[in-house]
Amino acid sequence: MNETMEEKNIVKTFFSYSVPCIIAMFLTSFIIVVDGVFIGWKVGESGLAAINLTLPLMYILLAVTLLIGVGGVTLAAQSLGAKQKKQASYYFSVALSGILAVDTSIVLFIAAFLDDIVVLLDAHGIVQEYVKDFLGVIVYFYVFMMLNMAFSMFIRAEGKPLLSLLFGVSGNIFNVILDYVFIMKLDWGMCGAALASGLSVLVPCLFGLMYFLTNRSVYQFTKFSPNFTDCKNIIFNGSAEFIAQISISITIFAFNLVLMERIGVNGVAAQTIIGYVVFIQSMVLTGIAIGIHPLISYNFGAKNMDVIFKLLGIGVKAVFAVGLVVCIVSLVYAEDIISIFSHNNQELLNIGGIGLRIFSIAFILNGYNMIVAAFFTSIGKAKAALFVSSLRSLVLILFFLLVLPYILGDIGIWLTTPLAETVTFAAAYLLVSKIKNELHSRS
């Protein structure tokens, strides 16, 4: 971490950190969307539905990775801000070891009980076969995906967002090539899609490992003895992100159940396509959030309170701008977006078009809720971050999903997320005002 954290040109510093993160996250989402396009055209709506049915498992792994990774990088960045490099390396070593151990255990469990898990995901008929084909391959690469995310967080936290971007781009390019070869040319279907995604993540993972092992990083692998207090602090600081991702896993599973019951395979496929749009926007928003995360943590550790709120203000303006653009595009071009994935399926086009237009309201407000949760995590306000994350992505979603479809019909399914984001926005705004007053009164 260098002195740009303390320079007066906060806007320039914000963009120097966030833009590479935004580009990296966008490219990551774009590659996943390209996977969906290949699957939608070559395999069809059943393939798209199968992808969506496997997502809860990936989000469980993502939850664990962010729980330990965000908690570790928050404490490491704060240590760097306080000029404690040895302590920062300690948190780095603890976090990566924890991620590797826990994620590997989860992957082995999924592989051992694959058939039972496929049934649990509520897959039927040809969709069940597609789920098994895809999950049976991709599960063995999940650990490398999660390590990539952890490497990226720590590289950005030490002030090298461009390096993290280059690592990510290398894997993304490889993924597009393999998708075309495995899915379109060799006709390997869902297995080919999984293999392409899996092999592509090995490239940035190798680069990241080499970077940290060759002493080019501020963070160094160090020997450590498990410390209950430090592990508790890591988990506490990453708890909001954990709840957010676990909540997504639960809500995707719940959405799939409701959609499969009320609409069928085309309903789940439509949700998959809408999910791609959400994913692109979320990755851009995540790029903004993780770009300013180390900046806020560093300045909080250095007790620069005015700087952290200026960074929050810039971040809020950025996410609102992104949300407004995505909302307008979704409203105007809903059917065109759905048609990219739906190959001559008019029913899917109609269902997805209606769903995306209604859902688009959420794009305006979800960025604020995400950036506020990240801000609270960065300054060690884990309870506040946990409250915002759980409210928007679990509590309100499940409540509205249980109630609205039975009052408004199928439209109620698509209204669930916009209403959840709206209520969360009001609560998050009040919470930010309260904490801002508390911090200023102490300084």
Question: Do 149 and 24 touch, CB atoms closer than 8 A?
Answer: no
- Residues 190-232 have pLDDT tens digits of 999 999 989 998 999 999 999 999 888 889 888 888 788 888 9
Nearest 5°: phi and psi at 197? -65, -40
Per DSSP, 141 falls in state: G
pLDDT < 50 stretches in the chain: 1-8
Q: Which residues does 223 contact at the CB level (< 8 Å), separation at least 6?
A: 93
Q: What is the pLDDT of residue 130?
A: 94
The structure's pTM equals 0.77
Q: Tell the burial category of 229 from Cβ atoms under 10 Å away from its Cβ (0-12, 13-18, 19+).
A: exposed
Count, residues in the chain:
443
Reference 50, options 250, 344, 268; nearest CA is 268
